[in-house]
Each structure stands twice: as C-alpha cells, then as structure tokens.
Amino acid sequence: MYRDYGPKGVKFFFIYKTLAHPELAGNYVQPFTLEERLAQARQAEKQLGATIPWLVDDMDNRLKHALGDRPNSELIIDPEGRIVRKRAWSFPAEVRKDLEKLVGPVERITNESDVVLKLQPPVKTPAARGVVPRVPRPAMQAIVMEPQIDPKGPPFYAKLRAEADAGLLMTGKGKLYLGFHLDPFHQAHWNNLTPPLRFKLEVPEEVKLDKMSGEAPKVQETSDADPREFLLAVESWPEDKPIRLTVTYSACVEDKSCHAVQQSYVLRRQRDRDGGGARGEGAGYWDAEGLARQIGTAGAEGKLSKDKVMGLVRPHFEKLDTNKDGFLDAEELKALAEWLNHHHQPGTPAPGPKQ
Amino acid sequence: MRWMPRFVFALLATALPAVALAQQPRKSEEDFAKEKPAVGDPLPDLTVYSPDGKEVKTSSLRGHYTVLTFGCLT
C-alpha cells in the first residue's frame, strides 16, 4: 500500500509506542528512558525491514493516550490535519478501500508476494535462558511502578515488571508479582559468582505483605539471563499508600565488566494502562469479555455467577451485581472494565450502587 | 518467523483470513469510534520523535493524507 499510495502523495508512519506484550518475541521489556525506546524503534525498523518510517511516542505516552490507548490502532489524517478514519485495530484491506475513496484507485495493486522485506532477527540475549524456572502468574495486570532514575547512575540493566491480580487491584488483597528482567538492549547477564539479586520493600504501616524482602535462588551456572521473579501475598494495600522497593544485583556486560547495582522504584496499587500484557495476555486493556475470562468462568450468555468468580472477587460480588440478579452480566462487567481502564485512580470507588 | 512482530502480519496482509476477521473485536471498534478525538476532529498537536531522536510535531503532518499505525516490537 505504501508503494501504491506513496507516489500519490500519501504519507505513512508507524508510531512506536509502549510494548503491547513485553517478554514476547525477543524477551523485550518496557524501556525506562527515551533513549531506550528510540533504540527499540530502531530495532523495529530493522526487524520489520519495511521502508515506512517510524515516529516514536514520548515516555509519557501522550500520543497513545490522546488517540485512544489501543495497541494497534490506525488513523487516516487529511491534509488539513483532521482525522478522517479511525480503527481500533489495524486493518490494511480497509485502509486500501479508504484510500481508494480519498485519493483514487491505483493502476496496479502491489501484492504481498511483490514485496521482499529484509527481516532481521530480534536482539540476542548474551547468556543462556531456561536455567531458572519461571514463576507462574496467571491473570495479572501491570501496575504503576516508577523507576527512580539517577542520570549519573548505571542503566537499569534489569528492569522491574510489577503486576497485580484482580483481587489486589480491586480490594488491596491478592498476589503481587515482582519480576526483574534483563533488558536485551543492554546486553547484560547476571553475575552468578556474586550473591544473588535481593530486593527490599519499605512500606507504610497500613500495608501488610507476607515478606518484606527476597533473594533470588543461587544458580550453579556462572551466568544466565533468566528473570528473577517473586510472587508475594498481600494482605492489605490501601490505594493511596505507595511502596518503595530497592533492589541490588550484579550484572556483567559484553566487555566482561561487571557492575554491582542498587536501584529503587516506587510501586502504586494502580493499574498501568501502558504496561501491556506480558507473554501474550491482553495488551493491558480490559473489555467485559476479557474481564469475564480473567476473574472467573462465565456460564450461559457470558454471565458470571457468584460461585464461578475467583475467591478474591466473591466478597465484592454483591456490590458489583448492581441489578441484583445474582449474576455479573455484560453491562456490569463493562462498568468494572471501564473503571479498571480509565478511572482506576487512588480514591476512586469501585463500581456499585452509591452508598 | 516466531519473532516477527504480530502486527506485521496485519500490515502485510492484503486480505485477512476469515478466522482473523472473526477474532476482530467488533465491540472494541464500536467503542473506539465513539471516543474522542472522533472523525472530523483535529489530530492532537503533540511532540513525537524520529528514531534518531529528533523532535517531530504532529502538526507537521499536515499537507497530505497521512496513515498512522501504532505498533511496537511485541
């Protein structure tokens, strides 16, 4: 389409945004700095091999937020700068139809078989993976975590991925996943000759967890690139009480220099709408159907009865069941999804009848 | 080909197979169409970057029909 409509004056851009599915397709992780995101965009250019230019969203994800927060949306802008078409999911065949109407048909349509793309493989990890068993974390969503970046400090060779299950997000009680993933763009591996990665939490007294610190398992191999992962049970985490996390680890880079690193984060009990869905789960955007799958087993007509929702949601069932018919139906799930997607800020009450 | 970004398949396809069409979240399209900015609204004027780090104003995209597609490495 680029070949067909480029000569007719149509401009095409890919917008490089936050990762939709971190850890997939190359073990990529969310970047912390603009430089890191730019490096990802340059890699995307190479990996895709296409000649369509990329533009890169800023680290506040302003363009993604301004245009609807979808992972793969598509818009056509007219010469006056107005939106003339928008689609939540890219659909090239429809874009072609749109351009035929807006600009006119082309004499000869370029087919997929006419295009030879010089695809390149993803960035390689510099050490073995599959050494340390992964921690299973079904049905969790990224939460807001703010790396405390010291411009003079070392890069975040390992980057925290923090996730909460639906119970923790909604009620403050549930599972908290903390995963420290090496960023392949820094080409670092763990130095297993030194003490393993350790983390420590500083929490306000209202926050109750099963552990306040953790140490990764000792690994026999001298190096590897597997994530260091922890699953914590949270008894109580009020929405307005951030948690401070400090991690120490030793990472070595390709030139064999090893670095002992201490880095900090602030974690919030708040869904990160830019976090993406790790390992192929939904791209961090809930809809009623997806939510039904995440919090229970839907029966006929996609409704959830109280005995079919996960235990952590059960105590809140009556509040969520606004029409009191004993089921969470599509409307009620939609209200919950809306709240999780757009209104989940500290202090915002969950859906339900007004008190 | 396992590592190929998912959306690339969509970009390359001239016609999606029926199964992919069935998976298209139609509801999501309806919701998206209702959201602001709507068709007819101006593209918000924001700063983005070229991959080599140069600032680009989205207002500079005027003067042509422009197709914007969001994507990433995963």
- Our measurement of the distance from residue A29's CA atom to the centroid of its chain's CA atoms, rounded to an integer in Å, reads 9
DSSP state of A222: S
Half-sphere exposure in the Cβ direction for A69 (13 Å, CA): 19
Using CA atoms, how far apart are residues A283 and A274, in angstroms rounded to an integer? 9
CA distance B22 to chain A (A): 13
Q: Any chain B CB within 8 A of the CB of A189?
A: no
Which residues of chain B does A57 touch, with a Cβ-Cβ cutoff of 8 Å?
A: 48
Return the bridge partners of A232, or none.
Answer: A176
**Interface test mutation site (partner A, options B30, B32, B70, max chain A beta carbons within 10 A):** B70
pLDDT reported for residue A346: 37
The side-by-side arrangement of strands in the sheet containing A74-77 is A83-87, A74-77, B66-71, A11-16, A54-56, B47-49, B55-57
Q: Give, in order, the Cα–Cα distances in Å from A217 to each of A134, A164, A234, B15.
A: 12, 22, 22, 49
Q: Is B14 close to A92, i.e. CB distance below 8 A?
A: yes
Q: Does residue B13 register a pLDDT over 80? A: no
pLDDT reported for residue A311: 64
Q: Does residue B14 register a pLDDT over 70? A: no
ipTM greater than cut 0.85: no
Using CA atoms, how far apart are residues A182 and A27, in angstroms rounded to an integer? 9
CB-based contacts of A323, cutoff 8 Å, min separation 6: A329, A331, A332
In chain A, positions 50-109, which contact chain B (CB-CB < 8 Å)?
50, 53-58, 62-64, 66-68, 70-93, 95-96, 99, 102-103, 109
Using CA atoms, how far apart are residues A268 and A344, in angstroms rounded to an integer? 11
Q: Which amino acid is at A174?
A: G
Put residue A46 in one of left, alpha, beta given phi > 0 → left and psi -120 to 50 → alpha: alpha
Rounded mean pLDDT of chain B?
70
pLDDT reported for residue B17: 27
Straight-line distance from the first to the last Cα atom of chain A, in angstroms, rounded to the nearest whole number: 55
pTM beyond 0.95, yes or no: no
pLDDT along chain A (355 residues), means of 10: 89 92 82 96 86 93 90 92 91 89 88 71 84 82 95 95 90 94 94 96 96 96 93 95 97 86 96 79 54 69 78 74 88 74 46 47
pLDDT reported for residue B1: 36
Among partner residues A34, A50, A89, which is closest to B25 by beta-carbon distance? A89
pLDDT reported for residue B73: 84
Residue in the structure block whose two tokens are 């799930």: A333
pLDDT > 90: percent of chain A? 52
Residues B20, A122, B4, CA angle at the centre, nearest 5°?
15
Tell me the CATH number of domain A141-271, given options 3.40.50, 2.40.128, 2.60.40, 1.20.1300.
2.60.40
All structural domains of chain A with their residue ranges = 2-114, 141-271, 288-343
Q: In what helix (H) or strand (E) does residue B34 lie, and over which residues does it extend?
A: helix B26-34
Using CA atoms, how far apart are residues A296 and A330, in angstroms rounded to an integer? 13
Joined tokens for residue A23:
């850890």
